[in-house]
Amino acid sequence: MLLALYLIAITAEAMTAALAAGRRDMDWVGVCIIACVTALGGGSVRDVLLGHYPLTWVLHPEYLWITAAAALLTAIAAPVMRRLHRLFLFLDALGLVVFTVIGCQVALQMQLPITVVLVSGMITGCAGGVLRDVLCNDIPLLLRKELYASVSVVTGGLFIGSQYLGANLNASMIGAMLFGLVFRLLALRFNWQMPKFVYRDEWR
């Protein structure tokens, strides 16, 4: 089940990344690169930081083909994709929680401290989007006021907590992902935001 959700997540992330690349007038090679970096970058950053090798896309190079194909399909069908904005928001939220749980699982299997497990989940869930935004010259979504990294942290915390309480692995994954998904969608629906830090230096 988790593999199927992962494949859906990387495909969705690749498609949203392709649209972001299109807004920057990138050529098709650039579109594919941005898509692959977005879909697979979070896991790659996690694995490099944790020394977890081989990287996922090295072990499964077919993931590169899946993300590139999704990006090219998006480029071809871009006019239709504009009508699927809500679907992409849903799939992006799904990708966030799926990647988060996978990242936590990797760190748990390496028997790392709880803090590192939580950070591993957040990196896996968010780093790909940060790389996309940096390459597309946008302010990373992670640094904006909407709830994104917070959703990842809550999802990871629920998964880790349920595992330490001895809950069934599948039940822990499903419960954490469902809660995180609903949390993210409600945040989008009702425009929930993190408190902003606003500083203006009036001294001259």
pLDDT in tens, 106-152: 999 999 999 999 999 999 999 999 999 999 988 887 777 778 999 99
pLDDT exceeds 70 at position 44: yes
CA 133 to chain centre: 12
- Whole-prediction pTM: 0.92
DSSP string, 61-123: THHHHHHHHHHHHHHHTHHHHGGGHHHHHHHHHHHHHHHHHHHHHHHHHTT--HHHHHHHHHH
pLDDT at 31 over 90: yes
Q: Choose the weakest-confidence range: 5-19, 167-181, 187-201.
A: 187-201
Say whether pLDDT at 204 is over 60.
no
The sign of the dihedral angle between the CA atoms of 53, 128, 130, 71 is positive
SS3 129: helix
Count the Cβ atoms, other than its own, within 10 Å of residue 85.
Answer: 10
Q: Is the pLDDT of residue 166 over 90?
A: yes
Q: What is the pLDDT of residue 186?
A: 96
Tell me the mean pLDDT in the region 31-50.
97
- 193 pairs with which residues across the strands? 146
Contact 75, 17 (CB under 8 A): no
**pLDDT score recorded for residue 53:** 95
Residue 78 pLDDT = 82
Residue 172 has pLDDT above 60, yes or no: yes
What confidence category does residue 203 fall into, taking pLDDT thresholds of 50, 70 and 90?
Answer: low
Say how far apart CA 196 and CA 204 lie, in whole Å. Answer: 24
- Chain mean pLDDT for the chain: 92
Cα four-point dihedral sign 188, 192, 197, 198: positive
Q: Report DSSP state, residue 148.
A: S
pLDDT in tens, 55-94: 999 999 999 999 999 999 999 988 887 778 888 889 889 9
Is residue 75 packed enough to be buried (19+ CB in 10 Å), middle (13-18) or exposed (0-12)? buried
